[in-house]
């Protein structure tokens, strides 16, 4: 008997989908329970955590994640709030109220980033009893307030619609507004990225800030941002403006799923999961892991592979992450939801390389649901998406526990155990797979300008060649607020990703003469570069690059 290639692929797809079905049904309750176990005060693994605070993981050494991060907590609670407001789990209300009050108190907790009115909202993590964490850390991280606002707004919208608008306007709005005001005031300042390593502009941070500001209706007109300035001519989104790596990063996949709006079609400006730019970027991102993990060896070039934060990652050995591999499947499931709903798939020259993986020789055009190309693509992309879940399933230990990473060669769990965010990422991917999406946040009515107007600033990239000893770091300060007004204490930390070149990108006022210097900090001691001050004048538009050597 002769079997056609299409028939065999169909059988494989069927087998993958069966095993993914069974993983989804066994893992769902484990992920939900694992997530709830990590929330204070009564989560079984969250001993000592204040009511409503999420511990990142119960792991207390190598790494110690027994802290509460605003980013992780907000993404986790967005998952729970969606389950509550959709009616999938109506028992969660008390926990959500606890989250709201715990986060309102964190906002008021003075910390190394400042007080509530001087930048403290950008503090990335706190102790689990709600006190400030005062050790050194990559701060500020400006995605936190935006993600928290988005989570709280989704709960507030439900309360509004369900007869509790007094609570929303008198209790919740002031809290949400603090976060939105922080975002509006600081969105164009450099930030540590979501992986807490690079201080620069970062696509994920900008995208979630844009969403939060859109949702905060009274602030909607304050500013518009765009994803387009991050577009790279090699067909992907530049994830960060600094860091000196390839800048291919899961940050873009996470931006796409966390700003998904089922009512916005395949809009590329708001980077919807099925937009040509998001799909093109997804392919470049996934492909970047094909040769870096031995687990991915021998896999067909158009089949799913395990993915991590970014290909150059070395943290804990540099391994695949559950939450990024789930995020890839979720972006694809989100795209499938929209294509099926609109009854067509548009292929553009930008997304052609992505679609070519599933239908070789396909050309740009719109394929309606009555065409065979449409059914081929839907089937193949569903199988591709399931492939990512199947890989996570394969590397999930038999108790269903999800750590942060799994070893790139052996597949055994690595780094923090029971990572709450891993569990949340499983639940949201499973829910997208079953065709569910969170409510619209208004992306389709967003007035996003075609180019980035950032209030008269230009991005200046500073690179300083400096040899340092272990533990010594290079910072930048200078004569304008964006350079911390000559303050050595708050000087900006440069990234050493390209050591001995240290670099940072900062938005400075346009057409302005600026003086600056680099400083070294070692064991609390500050050493300034020799005089005179360095000088530059920013252009009216565009960008500027400064290359200096320590003196
Ligand atoms: C700890 C941070 O949590 C992680 O994001 C980072 O990659 C490592 N430090 C290494 O810098
Ligand atoms: C390291 C991750 O890079 C960061 O995104 C996360 O917030 C912390 N671990 C805590 O899970």
Please state the rounded mean pLDDT for residues 440-447.
76
- What DSSP state is assigned to residue 64? B
Rounded to 5°, the CA angle 439-444-450 comes to 140
pLDDT of residue 226 exceeding 70, the answer is no
Report whether pLDDT(229) > 60: no
CB burial class (10 A; 0-12, 13-18, 19+) of residue 251?
A: buried
Q: Is 546 a catalytic residue?
A: no
Residue 196 falls in the annotated catalytic set: yes
Q: Select from 330, 308, 324 the least CA-distant residue to 407.
A: 308
Give the pLDDT band of residue 152 (cuts 50, 70, 90).
very high
Position 497 scores a pLDDT of 84
Residues 6+ apart with CB under 8 A from 482: 189, 457, 506, 507, 508, 509
Residue 15 pLDDT level (bands cut at 50, 70, 90)? confident
The pLDDT value recorded for residue 444 is: 80
| Residues 6+ positions from 361 with CB-CB distance below 8 Å | none
pLDDT of residue 3: 60
Query: 354-405: per-residue pLDDT in tens?
Result: 999 999 999 999 999 999 999 999 999 999 999 999 999 999 999 999 999 9
Q: pLDDT tens digit string along 277-288?
A: 999 999 999 999
Identify which of 514, 476, 396 has the alpha carbon closest to the alpha carbon of residue 190: 476
Q: Which H/E stretch holds residue 522? A: strand 513-522
**Could you identify the atom of ligand 2 that is nearest to the CA of residue 57?**
11
Nearest 10 degrees: Cα torsion 94, 194, 296, 413? -50
CA of 138 relative to ligand 1 center, distance in Å: 9
Poorest-pLDDT segment among 183-187, 238-242, 434-438 = 238-242
Burial 18-32 (b: 16+ CB within 10 A, else e): eebeebbeebbebbb
Range among 174-178, 245-249, 402-406, 444-448 rated most confident: 402-406
**Is the bond preceding residue 353 a cis peptide, omega within 30 degrees?**
no
Shortest-distance ligand to the CA of residue 194: 2
Tokens (6 digits) for 388: 């990512």
Higher per-residue pLDDT: 218 or 511: 511
**% of the chain surpassing 70 pLDDT:** 93
For residue 99 and ligand 1, the question of a CB distance below 6 A is answered with no
pLDDT of residue 449: 47
Domains of the chain by residue range: 1-14+238-446, 37-233, 457-549
pLDDT bucket at 343, cuts 50 / 70 / 90: very high
User: In this model, does residue 222 exceed pLDDT 70?
Assistant: no
Q: Which atom of ligand 1 is nearest to the CA of 63?
A: 1
pLDDT of residue 453: 41
Residues with CB under 6 Å of ligand 2 are 56, 65, 69, 71-72, 194-196, 421
CATH number listed for the domain at residues 1-14+238-446: 1.50.10.10
Does any ligand 1 atom lie closer than 6 A to the CB of residue 197?
yes
Task: Tell me the average pLDDT across 332-352.
Answer: 97
CB atoms within 10 A of CB 218: 9
- Interatomic CA distance for residues 378 and 399, integer angstroms: 33
* Spatial contact of 225 and 203, defined as CB atoms under 8 Å apart: no
Residue 25 tokens read as 């049904």
Over range 156-164, report the average pLDDT.
89
Residue 194 Cα to ligand 2 midpoint, Å, equals: 7
Q: What is the mean pLDDT of residues 478-493?
A: 88
Distance CA 382, CA 538 (A): 49
Question: Mean pLDDT over residues 61-68, rounded?
Answer: 97
Question: Do the Cβ atoms of 343 and 369 come closer than 8 Å?
Answer: yes
Any ligand 1 atom below 6 A from CB of 404: no
Taking 50 as the threshold, does the pLDDT of residue 424 lie above it? yes
Q: Is the pLDDT of residue 307 over 80?
A: yes
- The helix, strand and coil proportions of the chain, stated in percent and rounded to the nearest 5, come to 40, 15, 45
pLDDT grade, residue 443 (50/70/90)?
confident
With a cut of 70, say whether residue 228 has pLDDT above it. no
What confidence tier does 301 reach under pLDDT thresholds 50, 70, 90? very high
Residue 457 pLDDT greater than 60, yes or no: yes
89, 97, 181, 196: which is the annotated catalytic residue?
196
Whose CA is closest to atom 10 on ligand 1? 315
pLDDT tier at 189, thresholds 50, 70, 90: confident
Average pLDDT across the chain, whole number = 91
**How far is residue 148's CA from residue 186's CA, in Å, rounded to a whole number?**
16
Fold match, 1-14+238-446 / 457-549: no
What is the pLDDT confidence band of residue 8, given thresholds at 50, 70 and 90?
Answer: low
Can you tell me the mean pLDDT for 531-550?
A: 90
What is the mean pLDDT of the segment spanning 425-441?
A: 94
Q: Residue with the nearest Cα to atom 3 of ligand 1?
A: 196
Separation between Cα atoms, residue 164 and residue 402, nearest integer Å? 37
Which residue out of 197, 321, 473 has the highest number of ligand 1 atoms within 8 Å of its CB and is therefore the one to mutate? 197
Residue 217: what pLDDT? 55
**Is 137 marked as a binding-site residue?**
yes
Indicate the pLDDT class of residue 94, thresholds 50, 70 and 90: very high
Give the model's pLDDT for residue 512.
84
Return the residue whose CA atom lies nearest to atom 1 of ligand 1: 196
Q: Does domain 457-549 have CATH number 2.160.10.10?
A: no
Average pLDDT, integer, range 453-458: 64
User: Per residue in 46-59, pLDDT tens?
Assistant: 999 999 999 999 99
Cα separation values, 323 from 306, 409, 413, Å: 11, 18, 13
DSSP track, 110-150: -BTTB-TTTTGGG--EE-TTSPBP-S------TTHHHHHHH
Pick the CATH number of 37-233 from 1.20.210.10, 1.10.246.90, 3.30.310.50, 1.50.10.10: 1.50.10.10
Res. 121: pLDDT tops 50: yes
Distance from Cα 173 to the centre of ligand 1, integer Å: 33
Q: Who has greater pLDDT, 543 or 321? A: 321
Q: Is 486 left (phi over 0), alpha (psi -120 to 50) or beta?
A: left
Which string of b and e fits 521-532 if b means at least 16 CB within 10 Å?
beeeeeeebeee
Residue 218: pLDDT band (50, 70, 90) is very low
E strand or H helix that includes residue 367: strand 365-368
Taken in order 167, 171, 177, 182, is the CA torsion positive or negative? negative
Interacting residues of 335 by C-beta distance below 8 A, sequence separation 6+: 266, 273, 274, 278, 279, 381
Out of 72, 143, 193, 267, which one is annotated catalytic? 193
DSSP conformational letter for 440: P
Q: At what angle do helices 420-433 and 5-37 cross, to 10 degrees?
A: 140
Q: How many helices (H) and strands (E) does the chain have?
A: 13, 19
pLDDT of residue 224 exceeding 50: no
């Amino acid at each position: 008997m002769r079997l056609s290639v299409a028939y065999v692929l169909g059988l494989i797809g069927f087998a993958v989908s069966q095993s993914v079905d069974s993983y989804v049904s066994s893992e769902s309750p484990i992920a939900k329970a694992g997530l709830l176990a990590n929330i204070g005060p009564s989560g079984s693994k969250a001993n000592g955590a204040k009511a409503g605070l999420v511990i990142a993981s119960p792991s207390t050494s190598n790494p110690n994640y027994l802290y509460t991060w605003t980013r992780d907590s907000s993404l986790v609670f967005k998952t729970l709030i969606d389950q509550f407001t959709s009616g999938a789990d109506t028992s969660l209300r008390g926990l959500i109220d606890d989250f709201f009050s715990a986060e309102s108190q964190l906002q008021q907790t003075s910390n190394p980033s400042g007080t509530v009115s001087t930048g403290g909202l950008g503090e990335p993590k706190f102790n689990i009893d709600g006190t400030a964490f005062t050790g050194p850390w990559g701060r500020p991280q400006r995605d936190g307030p935006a993600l928290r606002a988005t989570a709280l707004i989704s709960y507030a919208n439900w309360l509004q619609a369900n007869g509790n608008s007094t609570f929303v306007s008198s209790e919740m709005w002031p809290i949400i507004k603090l976060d939105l005001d922080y975002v509006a005031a600081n969105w164009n300042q450099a930030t540590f990225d979501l992986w807490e390593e690079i201080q620069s502009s970062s696509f994920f941070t900008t995208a979630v800030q844009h969403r939060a500001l859109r949702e905060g209706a009274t602030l909607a007109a304050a500013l518009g941002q765009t994803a387009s300035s991050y577009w790279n001519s090699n067909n992907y989104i530049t994830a960060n403006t600094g860091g000196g790596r390839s800048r291919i990063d899961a940050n873009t996949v996470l931006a796409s799923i966390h700003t998904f709006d089922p009512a916005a079609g395949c809009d590329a400006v708001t980077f919807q999961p099925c937009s040509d730019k998001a799909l093109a970027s997804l392919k470049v991102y996934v492909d970047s892991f094909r040769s870096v993990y031995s687990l991915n060896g021998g896999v067909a070039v158009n089949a799913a592979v395990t993915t991590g934060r970014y290909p150059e990652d070395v943290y804990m050995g540099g391994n695949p992450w559950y939450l990024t591999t789930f995020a890839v499947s979720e972006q694809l499931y989100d795209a499938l939801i929209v294509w099926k709903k609109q009854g067509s798939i548009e292929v553009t020259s930008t997304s052609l390389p992505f679609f070519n993986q599933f239908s070789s020789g396909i050309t740009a055009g719109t394929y309606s649901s009555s065409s065979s190309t449409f059914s081929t693509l839907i089937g193949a992309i569903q199988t591709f998406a399931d492939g990512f879940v199947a890989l996570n399933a394969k590397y999930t230990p038999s108790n269903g526990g999800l750590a942060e990473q799994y070893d790139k060669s052996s597949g055994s769990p690595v780094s923090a155990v029971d990572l709450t965010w891993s569990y949340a990422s499983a639940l949201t991917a499973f829910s997208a797979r079953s065709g569910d999406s969170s409510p619209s946040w208004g992306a389709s009515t967003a007035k996003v300008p075609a180019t980035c107007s950032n209030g008269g600033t230009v991005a200046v990239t500073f690179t300083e060649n400096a040899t340092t000893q272990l533990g010594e770091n290079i910072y930048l300060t200078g004569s304008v607020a964006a350079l911390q007004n000559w303050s050595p204490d708050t000087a900006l930390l440069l990234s050493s990703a390209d050591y001995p070149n240290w670099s940072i990108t900062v938005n400075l006022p346009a057409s302005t003469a600026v003086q600056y210097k680099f400083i070294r900090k070692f064991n609390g001691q500050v050493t300034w570069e020799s005089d005179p001050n360095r000088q530059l004048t920013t252009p009216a538009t565009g960008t500027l690059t400064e290359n200096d050597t320590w003196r």
